[in-house]
Amino acid sequence: MELIIQGIIKAFELIISFDPEVMGITWLSLKISGTATFISLFFGVSIGAGVALTDFPGKRIVISLINTGMGLPPVVVGLFVTILIWRSGPLGFLEILYTPYAMIIAQAIIATPIVMGISLASIQSLPANLRLQILSLGASRLQMAWILIKESKLPLLAAVMAGFGGVISEVGASIMVGGNIKGYSRVLTTATVMETGKGNFDIAIALGIILLILAFLVNLLLTHVQQRQRLR
């Protein structure tokens, strides 16, 4: 118990004193996971909407695959990304292993199915007649898709939160493809693992608390946007 209190005190010390290393780590976590979530949003929503709005043979299998992907184990993603981008791998010429870029790629792969699955379900849950109505008013298919995406913005913002929450708290893939390099690819989760390993539990707890606060603030912002839309 004493240790937890010590950790909490340490967390506030680090935040209030604007500890440059901790601030750097926090900012980097936010940037990497934010970028990854943004990329996943692009692919997730477009493919999710595409699958939801078209009929093709094997659609159920595709949806099952997407839903399975929502639980994609980060370490497996990390392993495959590592093998693809290391020097002897097919994408080795890019030289991006152990960089924040590699972390963004891995995290985007983890978040995309989550965003995709939620967008797919939310667009499918819209009344079927709405589609016909929009089309009958003379909208093109692309315009229809955009209107439907807008209609389901509530669950879509939930998808952003789920995707972001999934990657900011992820450690397995980040440590494999990022390498936990000080001042360069060390993020909150990998730093927490390392400090625990070193026996610096107070700092580890402090980093954990900062991670929680960060996740809370981001979700607060997104929830604010989401709920404001609802009132209007």
Partner 1 sequence: MKIFKGSKWAITILVAAVLVVTGAANVFAAPQQKNIILATTTSTQDSGLLDVLIPIFEKETGYFVKTIAVGSGQAMAMGKKGEADVMLVHSPDAEKKFIEEGCGVNRRLVMHNDFIIVGPSADPAKIKGIKSSTEALKQIAKANGLFTSRGDNSGTHSQEKKLWKTAGITPGGQKWYQETGLGMGQTLNVTSEKKGYTLADRGTYLAMKKSLGLDILVEGDAALLNIYHVIEVNSSKWPKANARGAKAFADFMVSKKTQDIIKTFGVDKYGSPLFFPDAGKKVEDLGK
Q: Where do contacts with partner 1 occur on this chain (CB under 8 A)?
A: 28, 30-32, 34-35, 38, 41, 86-88, 92, 95, 97-101, 104, 143, 146-147, 150, 153, 179-182, 184-185, 194, 196-201, 225, 229
Contact 190, 171 (CB under 8 A): yes
Nearer Cβ to partner 1, position 32 or 49? 32
- CA–CA dist 102, 104 (Å, integer): 5
Tell me the residue type at 215: A
Identify the sign of the CA torsion 224, 225, 227, 228. Answer: positive
Q: Which of 40, 188, 158 is nearest to 104 (CA)?
A: 40
Minimum distance from CB of 200 to partner 1 (Å)?
8
d(CA 86, CA 189): 23
**Residue 123 CB, nearest distance to partner 1 (Å)?**
16
Nearest approach in angstroms of CB 5 to partner 1 is 16
Q: 4: Cβ–Cβ under 8 A, 6 or more apart, which residues? A: 205
Residue among 66 and 149 whose Cβ is closer to partner 1? 149
Which DSSP letter does residue 112 get?
H
Residue number, 53 or 62, with CB nearest to partner 1: 53
- Least Å distance, CB 198 to partner 1, is 5
Q: Are 82 and 176 in contact (CB under 8 A)?
A: yes
Rounded distance, CA 103 to CA 176, Å?
Answer: 9
Tell me how crowded residue 95 is: count the other CB atoms within 10 A of its CB: 13
Cβ distance to partner 1 smaller for residue 78 or 101 = 101
**Smallest distance, Å, CB 78 to partner 1?**
14
Q: How far is the CB of 61 from partner 1 (least distance, A)?
A: 32
20 vs 199, which CB is nearer to partner 1? 199
Q: Rounded to whole angstroms, how far apart are CA atoms 207 and 78?
A: 22
Query: Which is closer to partner 1, CB of 32 or CB of 109?
Result: 32
